[in-house]
Chain A
Amino acid sequence: MTDDPISAGTRAGQPAPAADAAALQARIHELEAERRRVFEDAQREADAVFAQYQLSQLLAAGGSVDDMAAAVLAEVARAVGAHAAALWLAPPATTTLELVATFPGPAETIEARSRQAIRGAFADLAAARGWTAARGWSGVTLPEGRAVGGGGPDGAEPGAVGYLAVGPDEGAALEPAHTRYLASVRLELAVTLRAAQLRASLAREQATLAAILEGATDAIVAVDAHRRVVRLNGAAAELVGTPARAGTGMHCSEFLGCARTPTDGAPAGEPLCGPRCPFLDVLDAGRPIVGREMRVRHRDGSAIPVAASISRMPAPDGGAVAILRDLRAARSLDEAKTSFVAAVSHELRTPLALIDGYTQSLLHLDLDAPTARRHVERIAGAAQRLASLIDDIIDVSQVESDALVLRRTPLALDGLLRAYVAERAELPDVPAVALTLPRWLPAVDADATRIRQVIGNLVQNAEKHAGRAATIEIRARRLDDGTVVVTVADNGRGIAPEDRDRAFERFYRGQRVRESQVPGSGLGLYLCRRIVEAHGGWIRLDATTRGTSISFGLPVALFTGEGGPGRDGPEAPA
């Protein structure tokens, strides 16, 4: 800038006399100075407006709370000429302030509740960061909503969004213009930062809700007021075989298959959910439907029984949401139960009839001693079968009603298997069991009685289905993943492929078994599965070309004491 910014002044002065010229020159300088002062005032005002504009632009640009806080703080610090600044925010619905940004440098978490505490925290920050600005600090509460009134002297006001502290150069105080700036921007800061916090928590909540919806095993379908699908979860897509993207926007009759051509012989156009659409009922009457049994139709045309609960969604959007529980599993369980009752009745009746018959003979006939003894033996055998059947039933009702109570101890399976095979060898008329064991097996942490029951069930199963001439083999081995596996195999007819999937289900008996008249309740393998799974193990049918082979694995026990089982060492330390 030149000393005499207006060169025109020299032109204006030329025609006047000397004395007048000097006065005029002075007047011109005066006017020049006045002009410059007015210009500079105008520029300063414009500067202040522009500073606020820049902050607003930064706030309007949005972003995460952390990014915004850091940028906003740097901007404010620059605007008021602060060497250091810190910003605390209270998460929504809390009064605890958390440090979210510092200038310069990154933020760390320091909690401060009151103005006094903030002053202390700011001093600590300054000391830790080597700021020279702690003494002349100044701060402003960011008010919640429209509560623009300042905070009390000793506390961030209740419900405040946060607190912003700035430190000018050492010894200096904030200029009045800068104090005004802070006062004029604090409400905008508060509103925008609070909005960013709420946006973040809304996003978190939406993610949680979406995860819950997606994780639900029941089908969930939301429709709008015109019964168009607006949202559905994975279970719903799977239930009807229509992917979520395709299903969204479909009319409910299309999505749930009311309009679909049946493939199960049902007459076309038959309403699936009664004479009137239940969605329509709920939308019109507003009364929720709870657990109504109805049917939906899969894309392949098959009807699926479901229990539907439908309720209206709150205004203003309206619509309704349906939770559909697939009843097929429950239905097939019902069928299995019915056949179980039939089977058990038969099983109970047969030995009872035997007992009754032989008892009648003993009571009313005069039998010789050897015949009477044979009769009594038959009665004893029948009673034993009854007892074992009743044991099975009791066991199942136990594992159904309660979690299985296990008395777990470090258990050497090889010893248990040897003892079992030895005991069995004492019994008359049973096929022998061949036992194959490795040189060493680690101990498992298991309930010896329950595991023995599993082995007994598997061997009896083999014996029952493979016949007396069968060869039965038990093998044990250890896997590298720390599992001990026991396999019971026979050379019988094996399990039909169509029954393999359901072999371990409760009450399930394969078609071939039912036709073969082999007695049984359909509970043996189910019990085995429950017991092994309660131990944290697994049980499965092995793939075999001949006979049946069932394996179960149990996790090796972990011992905390020293001298745990080495590869070739003894397997049962204390």
Chain B
Amino acid sequence: MNRIGSAGPRPPAGAAPVRIDAFAAADVVRFVERAASSLARHEALLDRLDAALGDGDHGANMTIGFGVALPAVRAGLAERPDDVGELLRLLGHSLVASVGGASGPLYGTAFIEAGFALAGSPAAGPRELADALEAGRAGLARRGRCAIGDKTILDALDPAVRALRAQADAGSPLDACVAAAAAGAAGGMRATIPLVARRGLALRLGERSRGHRDPGAVSCFLLLGAMARAVRGEATT
């Protein structure tokens, strides 16, 4: 497998030897750290986007939720340092319980399903990570009863998962795979602007929902960006 060309040294990640081109339990913690800070930085933006389509609290909900999840996954890592799946499930359950609105159960389900797919593994390579994210995508679509083009989280998550799968199949290193996923999410997020919402509170708006980025798609992009930085080992900003 490929070595990550990281800008700085990865922080020590527990007792188990971790292959550097794989997504391990410690990477989950690094991901949540970066996600929490990125969401906090974009809290106002997400709230503003959500105010146009929903009830205006998506940024606050996500910031609070990841803030609660961070100590939970840190504690989880200390207990089960060799099970990335278990840690992702723990993250999912924490999000279901602590993120307000519909996004808690939706993101929570995605992480729970992804974690179930990786259960028992100390780390995931690119293909396993693609499997896990596909399981997460299926869970989110099932729980939200949403399809591509409904102007939801799924519209950013789906292109991200497909880009990750394509890079994994091509044998690209993990950091390139996750970077491609983040780029795919960015494209999907922008593509939600002209869509008419068919799920969630924005359903009430009908045609009036056109012309706005979906806040869920934006937060999904932020999460994948955080995952890309976590894999590259960039410091938390």
Write the residues of chain A forming the contact surface with B, with a CB cutoff of 8 angstroms: 1-2, 5-8, 39, 43, 46-47, 50-51, 53-54, 57-58, 61, 63, 67-68, 70-71, 74-75, 78-79
Contact = CB atoms under 8 A, between A and B. Distances in A.
A51 to B, nearest CB: 7
A47 B121 CA distance: 27
Contacts of B173: none
Contact of A70 (B116, B143, B206): B206
B116 A58 contact: no
A47 B128 CA distance: 25
B204 A58 contact: yes
B203 A71 contact: yes
Contacts of B113: 43
Contact of B55 (A2, A5, A51, A61): A61
A2 B116 CA distance: 11
Given A47-B142, A47-B143, A6 B120 contact: yes
B102 A54 contact: yes
B1 interface: no
A63 B55 CA distance: 13
17 contacts: A1-B131, A2-B131, A5-B117, A5-B119, A43-B109, A43-B143, A46-B105, A53-B105, A57-B102, A57-B201, A58-B203, A58-B204, A61-B201, A70-B206, A71-B203, A74-B203, A78-B199
A2 B139 CA distance: 15
B116 A39 contact: yes
A495 B112 CA distance: 95
Interface in B197-215: 198-201, 203-204, 206
Nearest to B145: A78
B50 interface: no
B204 A67 contact: yes
A41 B90 CA distance: 19
B116 A54 contact: no
Lowest 8 A-B CB distances belong to which pairs? A8-B120, A71-B204, A71-B203, A6-B120, A50-B105, A78-B145, A67-B204, A47-B143
B43 interface: no
Given A58-B203, A61-B204, A51 B119 contact: no
Contacts of A68: 204
Contacts of A78: 145, 199
Contacts of B142: 43, 47
B30 to A, nearest CB: 23
Nearest to B105: A50
A46 B116 contact: no
A5 B134 CA distance: 14
Interface of chain A: mostly helix, strand, loop or mixed: helix
A1 B102 contact: no
A68 B205 CA distance: 10
B22 interface: no
Interface in B88-121: 101-102, 105, 109, 112-113, 116-117, 119-121
Nearest to A36: B116
Given A2-B117, A46-B109, A68-B204, 19 more contacts: A1-B117, A5-B119, A7-B120, A8-B120, A43-B109, A43-B112, A43-B113, A43-B143, A46-B143, A47-B143, A50-B102, A50-B105, A51-B145, A53-B105, A54-B200, A57-B101, A58-B204, A61-B204, A71-B204
B135 interface: yes
A7 B109 CA distance: 22
A555 to B, nearest CB: 49
Contacts of A43: 109, 112-113, 139, 142-143
A58 B128 CA distance: 37
Interface residues of B, number: 28
Contacts of B206: 67, 70
Interface string B5-41: 0000000000000000000000000000000000000
Nearest to B101: A57
A6 B200 CA distance: 35
A58 B53 CA distance: 12
B34 to A, nearest CB: 27
A391 B76 CA distance: 109
A482 B62 CA distance: 71
A50 B143 contact: yes
A193 to B, nearest CB: 13
Given A57-B201, A63-B204, A6 B105 contact: no
Contacts of A5: 116-117, 119
Interface string B139-182: 10011110000000000000000000000000000000000000
A340 B128 CA distance: 108
B52 to A, nearest CB: 14
A67 B143 CA distance: 24
Contact of B102 (A7, A46, A53, A79): A53
A58 B201 contact: yes
A61 B54 CA distance: 9
Contacts of A39: 116
A74 B146 CA distance: 12
B143 to A, nearest CB: 5
A74 B203 CA distance: 8
Contacts of B116: 5, 39
Nearest to A9: B120
A79 B145 contact: yes
B118 to A, nearest CB: 8
Nearest to B134: A1
Contact of B121 (A7, A63, A79): A7
A54 B144 CA distance: 9
Contacts of A47: 142-143
B116 to A, nearest CB: 6
A43 B138 CA distance: 12
Taking each of B119, B134, B142, B203, which has the highest tally of chain A beta carbons within 10 Å of its own beta carbon?
B203
A296 to B, nearest CB: 49
B1 to A, nearest CB: 17
Contacts of B102: 50, 53-54, 57
A8 B145 CA distance: 33
A29 to B, nearest CB: 14
Contacts of B198: 74
A469 B200 CA distance: 90
Interface in B121-138: 121, 128, 131, 134-135
Contacts of A7: 120-121
Contacts of B203: 58, 71, 74-75
Nearest to B128: A2
Nearest to A12: B120
